[in-house]
């Protein structure tokens, strides 16, 4: 019953937003009436296609499901730009009208600009999303780091979202680039998948090729819990990655010890009470003389508990850096950090913008990344 009400509300809002674009932009477009009709037809199609991007997974026959998802998700990305630019146009015209009489030519020109700029943003966003994520180098300065850990490298990948539009070939290229970094350790910080093991096992198999001197480690993200976390934990273990669930490993380098810990997603307990995220428990029993303590935690929100537990560095993802404007403006409403390296008292927090993308194949102003972190002495 609640789900049905939710769907009705969402459908109504989606219709309202499409109607808003139509009423604010279409009447001001110059040219023949046929252009207005085509615009109206597109908005009607968009209203039907946008939900398809998220609901196509319920359609079982392949490749029909993925093809419908592709169409719907591309339409969703374009609709997002249309909506934002329509709103910005209205705000601009409102301010201009308060100052002077707005020429009819401005009104027509800005109406044309909305769909054209939306197309440009969507095309650029698509290219940015589908390219292989570049390597971002980050130095993390830790006090008293021993010589044996100086230059210790961690390759972090996060938020790949293997699913309707991200498949085996996309992941294979990521794995190849990560392996080429010759890192000491690989950290996969959650949201690997959007779908079941049954549907995506063949597409996540390249993870088994990850190679690092001190191993590859995985922690769950929120999307693992939407997709059957227990099955995915078992699957990832089968690829040879060590899954850290409120636990840690101790790595030895010369006479120095490095603690690498991991916690389930910040909200995992809502799906399984046994998976409650607990940085304190993840560090329990770790050697007190460890040279550095690193926590893998999908959401930056774990940082406060991680700092209290005594970690030196937390590696997270989840935010996608906002993925595309204006959603980057909303990330701070939920997360303490959006992207990059930050300090929370004595704790360093690095937030990856993600190696893949979620939903629309679109990244604008928030490029994807494969992160190579290097520990250095402060």
pLDDT (0 to 100) of residue 2: 67
Q: What is the CA radius of gyration of the chain?
A: 23
pLDDT (0 to 100) of residue 33: 87
Q: How many CB atoms lie within 10 A of CB 218?
A: 26
Cα 371 from Cα 350, distance rounded (Å): 10
> Do 151 and 183 touch, CB atoms closer than 8 A?
no
What does the block give as tokens for 104? 């009819």
What does the block give as tokens for 107? 């009104």
pLDDT (0 to 100) of residue 310: 96
Tell me the torsion sign for CA atoms 155, 161, 162, 167: negative
pLDDT (0 to 100) of residue 298: 98
CATH classification number, 135-377, choose in 3.40.50.300, 3.60.21.10, 3.90.226.10, 3.30.420.40: 3.60.21.10
Cα 246 from Cα 248, distance rounded (Å): 7
Tell me the torsion sign for CA atoms 307, 313, 317, 321: positive
Nearest 10 degrees: Cα torsion 295, 299, 300, 305:
-60
This model's pTM is above 0.85? yes
Domain ranges of the chain: 2-130, 135-377
Q: What residue has token string 């070939």?
A: 169
Q: How far is CA 159 from CA 37, 94, 185, 347, in A?
A: 40, 39, 18, 23
pLDDT (0 to 100) of residue 157: 98
pLDDT (0 to 100) of residue 287: 96
pLDDT (0 to 100) of residue 8: 85
pLDDT < 70 regions, the chain: 1-3
Please work out, in degrees rounded to the nearest 5, the angle formed at the alpha carbon of residue 16 by the alpha carbons of 13 and 22: 145
What does the block give as tokens for 144? 């008293």
């Amino acid at each position: 019953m609640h789900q049905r009400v939710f769907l009705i509300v969402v459908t109504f809002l989606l219709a309202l937003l499409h109607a808003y674009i139509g009423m604010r932009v279409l009447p001001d477009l110059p040219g023949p009436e046929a252009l207005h009709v085509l615009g109206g037809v597109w908005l009607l199609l968009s209203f039907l296609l946008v939900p398809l991007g998220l609901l196509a997974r319920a359609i079982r026959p392949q490749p029909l499901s993925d093809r419908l998802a592709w169409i719907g998700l591309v339409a969703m990305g374009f609709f997002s730009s249309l909506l934002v630019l329509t709103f910005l146009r209205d705000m601009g015209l409102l301010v201009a009208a308060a100052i002077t009489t707005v020429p009819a030519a401005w009104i027509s020109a800005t109406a044309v600009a909305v769909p054209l700029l939306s197309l440009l943003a969507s095309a650029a966003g698509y290219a940015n999303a589908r390219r292989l994520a570049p390597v971002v180098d980050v130095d993390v300065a830790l006090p008293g780091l021993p010589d044996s850990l100086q230059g210790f490298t961690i390759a972090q990948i996060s938020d790949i979202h293997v699913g309707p539009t991200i498949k085996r070939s996309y992941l294979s290229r990521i794995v190849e680039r990560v392996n080429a970094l010759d890192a000491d350790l690989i950290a996969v910080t959650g949201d690997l998948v959007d779908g079941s093991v049954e549907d995506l096992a063949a597409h996540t198999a390249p993870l088994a090729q990850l190679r690092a001197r001190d191993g590859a480690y995985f922690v769950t993200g929120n999307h693992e819990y939407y997709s059957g976390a227990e099955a995915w934990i078992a699957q990832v273990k089968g690829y040879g990655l060590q899954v850290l669930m409120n636990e840690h490993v101790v790595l030895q380098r010369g006479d120095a010890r490095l603690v690498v810990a991991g916690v389930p997603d910040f909200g995992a307990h809502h799906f399984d009470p046994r998976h409650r995220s607990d940085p304190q428990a993840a560090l329990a029993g770790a050697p007190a003389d460890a040279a550095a303590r690193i926590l893998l935690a999908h959401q930056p929100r774990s940082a406060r508990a991680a700092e209290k537990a005594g970690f030196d560095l937390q590696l997270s993802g989840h935010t996608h850096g906002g993925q595309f404007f204006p959603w980057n403006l909303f990330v701070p409403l939920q997360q303490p950090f959006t992207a990059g390296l930050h300090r929370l008292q004595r704790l360093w927090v690095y937030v990856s913008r993600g190696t893949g993308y979620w939903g629309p194949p679109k990244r604008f102003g928030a490029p994807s990344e494969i992160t190579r972190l290097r520990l250095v002495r402060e």
